Amino acid sequence: MCLSSVYRKEEEENVFLCKNIARVIPGKGEVVCIDLLGNRTRIPGEILDIDLMDNIILIRGLDQ
């Protein structure tokens, strides 16, 4: 099983948002991340990058 961590892209460094993400649902102006236990996290923004080798999902905020 391959679980990922989600970060928001910032100018200086990426900010950790959530971990153990098993499913990602992109939507209009938001990304819904569902973890291993089924908990949903709604993040305003859009997917910037998905790195499956390092298990990282990078989100760009709406204000960027």
CA distances (Å), origin 9, targets 13, 21, 44, 47: 7, 17, 12, 10
Q: Taking the alpha carbons of 25, 40, 59, 45 in that order, is the dihedral positive or negative?
A: positive
State the pTM of this model.
0.89
Where do the structural domains in the chain lie, given as residue ranges?
4-60
Does 1 score more than 80 pLDDT? no
| pLDDT value of residue 2 | 82
| pLDDT value of residue 22 | 96
Residue 6 φ/ψ, nearest 5 degrees: -110, 135
| pLDDT value of residue 64 | 61
Output the six-digit token pair for 16. 């950790």
17 by DSSP, 3-state: which? Answer: strand
For 13-59, the pLDDT digits (tens) are 999 999 999 999 999 999 999 999 999 999 999 999 999 999 999 99
| pLDDT value of residue 43 | 96
